[in-house]
Chains A and B, each alone.
Chain A
């Protein structure tokens, strides 16, 4: 009895220590790790929504509007309430600390179901340092998951006592906590029923059995449990019924939403579903790191959890969770969960739950190892001092590992560097910029932080389940802002939005990644200003302001239920807990047997005592090796792979170290040669997609390799083939640098006359809407031709437009196809068009339409072409002198030899041409953009050859449908087409320069 009192006292002390440590460690760090987390800003955005519109579930700022009833609201509403006093970020941190404290208490109480209070105290301490919890908080920022598990664990002892003792108060307490779980995280509630609630009920039923049956054979035991369950049927049915009622009732609007608007989108790939043996980095982040301690102590956990019949439920739950958490490593999870659930769920949460189940068993072994039977075992064999050293080594290696987890987001950045959002907010607030939508590129989850701080709307968003725009749901794209990480599908989705921007009133792009610059420029976007925080603002002209979207109506009852019930459930749980603590609390849960203080078997002791120190030390050594000691130049293939890897990440000093050491080839010389010879689409606006190295010849000290690289750019893939010579010196392979022959222009200084324009704002300084007099005019333009073509399954419109005004203009062209069923579809120009035109300049254009099958099935009636113009200040200078020669290759193919001379005072970063194919009458049959990968320096020239496929013999010009032309909303006649002698002299090919110059944004 005395021993038990002492153990209880120690347990409570450990609990208090654990709670204090949470405050000191997580509490002080979280504010700084929050910006790098994966999810925190999304939840902050939701919190901001509730802070502004508590009873209004329609959130218009993402995806042209979505319903917030698509996610349980309690966490967001609580942060919203705290944010009425503190800033949003601080409010989120305060909430996180409170939840972590509740989790510590939950784990303590949960562990008491299994072992004594001292062990439960050790379990509480484990919460502070368990890598799965640390990762969930500091790397993922998944507050709803943590809230859900915290309250779920707190509910289990009540449920256990209700099943054992049958007192209604325990049922009420359990349900009050489970209500909070449902209100905060539905997934935890659903899977918690299987992995936590069912084992608890099973354990309570077992503990109600007499000792002899518990120790009897398995069949008799099974029958006894079933009999007990049958006897407790009423209690179980009441609990099940009320739990079901709570699960449905508390977040009924959520169930209503999921029924009314089911998720039909294409699955978004997630690393937790990878085969971890094939994709080791995913395995590391989603399995090894969160489950590190579980893996290290797996023998002890497995032994303890399978030793007693009352733990059977927990053993099943633990191993199933462990298996499901292994993602696509085995085919079992997809078969257990079904393909649909497998592709929607992030499976790392199963590993997280496994780690929570394992906490009491880990605590048991650790406690035993430090001051129990396992300690005695070691002291007898290796003396106390050696046991102490083993303990210190294990503990220290784990703590160093934990520090690594804390800084995981730094070692393997999930997010771009923190962006100061104030300049963006200022931009959105001025000149009515909020009347249009915006898009961020390269912001990571900080796009949600920007949204939380502004009332402006974006077409993107960061809550995948709620989106319904077909451009997003039909492709496996996480977000538009990180489209480059979603491969071709991501960029196709982004291209849709950038080209069809009028459809979404998308006028501004805030770019934090120049990777997207080529796509933006060639899709008709212009750079406007670089903000103080380095973010480049791109703007598209002639975009209509946002047309208000009719919000999806949610009944008043549901809106109020959503606003009141979840928070009400938490308030009720707090009140009931206070009442329980004051009036009812038992000194102990039950008379549940707490034996098993025996020795672990030897193999378990050996394995579980040495695995942690070996595992964590090995892991850290591996990381150190990967970071510092890996032999990057051990053979020619590895050398080339690492050479390109550093080149891709622009680590030029590391690249230089791969070159054959030579006193005449210094780092300075390399960078100098690079600065004058490199640039352009590759590698400045590209990411290495794949690489293949082929050894052409190799001997003892030299080798020649051919390297095939495939680069991903925002304009599509580019491929390159290079040959390198390598030498083996001082046990390393070195690359022979390519001999660089600098092209040196004649002139010492270049000059060029630019005619620059400045649009003079005439708006009267007033908050009243502008009037006719203070608006700048819509410039004049004229269509020179419009043609409709069909080439097999593809349909498109070509034409030519003239800037007939005296000022540079920005033009937006769209086609509306009217069908016989009185419907219409809009299409927009893509990259085959010069969007900015000098006075009297003209450009061909091409608008790609739907395929023949679609257009024929809808039965086309007429075509309307709209051009809207705006005064442009830049973008009308398209490049230097362009010379070309066309060589006929037969079979409608030709080769265009192009020579571009950069006569401007700035580098042409992406030389590009617009190729128009014309017939003898001057009719344009197609317009295509051709880009080239190498930059051209000022005063220098560049030659390249571009194959071009003609279509005149395959395509058909369709003239049966009337074509109407409109300029700035007014019907206009199309100027008669004239013969183009230059095209006729060049085999029907005309090219005009359409280059991108990144440096001088006053030009473009």
Chain B
């Protein structure tokens, strides 16, 4: 038992006498570090360090070599990164040493033009004014100054043409699409003809156009309300390419009065007579 306590004491003594590893000394410190261009050197004991590059968004493990008391870190394999304040962290067991600097990508990285539009859906019923915000980022999502401008963003308000279409703010990028849609129909032309074979009235409605002259959107609901003095009838149909067709049964050659409506826009009252 005595031997056991002696061993325990020695163990505690040894543990308490263990020194913390010395902090590595950065031999060639810089304030701004360009990726891919520089190697870093630290003077330190040859310990089993773990080295990390901590950026704003993620830690990256860095390979290192050790020779003659110098620890060399290579950043060659890191092609690009989100720029900003960063740290080197050396970790050995539960000890950690950090070295701060500003991290930048090397020059010559491809830039991407961004053009945000708001709102994306417009129609001539309200207005066609659109906010346009332009900026640039590199492929690693770093915001870059606009060429020939002293700013990161440029905001302009543009008046769109009233022609219905799908446009792209950036060519070849469907995600940047915005849409000029048709407005509401301003009048509803209705034509009817009695069809003796089918015993009813063929109704043609259209072309339905907005105030600019665009054909109103496909799928727009048309309500056909007609009556024969006894019953009120309600028929719904939808527009396809500016026109809609409906058929009103009149087996007994009934006479009707018909009005077609799109929301609050109504056609003239039509008298259906065989």
Question: Interface residues, chain A, CB within 8 Å of chain B?
Answer: 753, 755, 757, 762, 764, 772-774, 777, 780, 802, 804-808, 837-842, 876, 878, 881-885, 897, 899, 901, 978, 982, 985-986, 991-993
Q: Does B184 contact A (CB under 8 A)?
A: yes
B233 touches A (CB below 8 Å): yes
With both beta carbons as reference points, the residue of chain A lying nearest to B263 in the complex is identified as A840
Cβ-defined contact, B238 with A755, below 8 A: yes
Q: Is the CB of A840 within 8 A of B232?
A: no
**Which of chain B's residues have a CB closer than 8 A to the CB of A982?**
225, 232
Q: Judging by beta carbons under 8 Å apart, are B123 and A806 in contact?
A: yes
Q: Which of A755, A780, A805, A885 contacts B232 (CB 8 A)?
A: A885
Residues in A with CB closer than 8 Å to B235 are: 881-882
Interchain CA distance A780-B249 in the complex, whole Å: 35
- For A901, the closest partner residue in chain B by CB is B249
A985–B220 contact, CB under 8 A? no
Please judge, given known A-B contacts A840-B184, A840-B263, whether A991 and B219 are in contact too, CB under 8 Å.
Answer: no
With both beta carbons as reference points, the residue of chain A lying nearest to B217 in the complex is identified as A806
Interface contacts beyond A755-B219, A839-B221: sample of 12 additional A-B pairs, CB < 8 Å, sorted by A? A753-B240, A753-B245, A808-B219, A838-B220, A838-B221, A838-B236, A840-B262, A840-B263, A883-B231, A884-B231, A992-B234, A993-B234
Q: Closest CB of chain A to B174's CB: distance in Å?
A: 8
Q: Which 3 A-B pairs have the closest CB atoms?
A: A806-B217, A838-B221, A841-B221
Asked whether A840 lies within 8 Å of B176 as measured between CB atoms, the reply is no
Binary A-proximity of B136-163 (CB < 8 A = 1, otherwise 0): 0000000000000000000000000000
When distances are taken between beta carbons in the complex, the residues of chain B under 8 Å from A762 are 174-175
Are the C-beta atoms of A840 and B221 separated by less than 8 Å? yes
Are A840's CB and B231's CB within 8 A?
A: no
Given contacts A764-B175, A777-B120, contact A881 B181 (CB under 8 A): no
Residue on A nearest B184 in the bound complex, by CB: A840
What are the residues of chain B within 8 A of A807 when measuring CB–CB? 217, 219
> A899 contacts which chain B residues (CB < 8 A)?
231
Contact flags B114-145 to A (C-beta < 8 A → 1, else 0): 00100111010100000000000000000000
Residue in A closest to B228 when the chains form the complex, CB atoms? A883
A449 CB to closest chain B CB, in angstroms?
A: 40
A885-B182 in contact given A753-B240, A978-B264 (Cβ < 8 Å):
no
A838, closest chain B residue (CB): B221
Residues on A with beta carbons closer than 8 Å to the beta carbon of B174: 762
B56 CB–A CB distance under 8 Å: no
Q: Which of A755, A777, A840 has most chain B Cβ within 10 Å?
A: A840
Which residues in A have their C-beta under 8 angstroms from that of B264? Answer: 978
20 A-B residue pairs with Cβ-Cβ distance under 8 Å, sorted by A, are A753-B240, A757-B219, A764-B175, A774-B175, A804-B125, A804-B263, A806-B123, A807-B217, A808-B219, A838-B220, A839-B219, A839-B221, A840-B221, A876-B221, A881-B233, A884-B232, A884-B234, A885-B232, A982-B232, A986-B232
Using a CB–CB cutoff of 8 Å, the interface residues on chain B facing chain A are 116, 119-121, 123, 125, 174-176, 181-182, 184, 216-221, 225, 227, 230-236, 238-240, 245, 249, 262-264
User: Closest CB of chain A to B184's CB: distance in Å?
Assistant: 7
> Which of B182, B221, B235 has most A Cβ within 10 Å?
B221
Closest to A983 in B: B232
How far does the Cβ of A783 sit from chain B's closest Cβ, in whole Å? 13
Decide: B234 and A806 in contact? CB cutoff 8 A: no
Q: How many A-B residue pairs have CB under 8 A?
A: 86
Across the interface, which residues of A come within 8 angstroms of B221, CB to CB?
837-841, 876
Asked whether, in the complex, the Cβ of A878 is within 8 Å of the Cβ of B249, the reply is no
Please indicate the chain B residues that have their CB under 8 angstroms from the CB of A780 in the complex.
121
Closest Cβ of chain A: how far from B228's Cβ, in Å? 9
Report how far A804 CA is from B219 CA in the complex, Å.
12
Kindly identify which residue among B175, B217, B234 contacts A991, using a CB–CB cutoff of 8 Å.
B234
Residues of B within 8 A of A882 (CB): 233-235
CB-CB < 8 A to A772: which residues of B?
116
When distances are taken between beta carbons in the complex, the residues of chain A under 8 Å from B181 are 805-806
User: Distance in Å from the Cβ of A612 to the closest Cβ of chain B?
Assistant: 72
Chain A residues with CB under 8 A of B216: 806
Give complex CA distance A484, B260 in Å.
44
Contacts of B219 in A (CB 8 A): 755, 757, 806-808, 838-839
CA distance A326 to B120 in the complex (A): 71
Chain A hits for B239, CB < 8 A: 755
Q: Which B residues are CB-close (under 8 A) to A901? A: 249
> In the docked arrangement, what's the CA distance between A806 and B217, Å?
6
- Do residues B175 and A881 form an inter-chain contact, with CB atoms below 8 A? no
Please give the distance in Å from B39's CB to the nearest CB on chain A.
33
Shortest Cβ distance from residue A1004 to the other chain B in the assembled complex, whole angstroms: 14
Residues of A within 8 A of B176 (CB): 773
Considering the chains assembled together, what is the distance between the CA atoms of A385 and B221 in angstroms? Answer: 89
Contacting pair B238 A838 (CB below 8 A): yes
Please measure, in the bound complex, the distance between the C-alpha atom of A211 and the C-alpha atom of B16, giving whole angstroms: 77
> How many angstroms from the CA of A757 to the CA of B219 in the assembled complex?
8
Q: Once the chains bind, are A878 and B236 in contact (CB under 8 Å)?
A: yes
Once bound together, how far apart are the Cα atoms of A275 and B185, in whole Å? 69
A885 touches B233 (CB 8 A): no
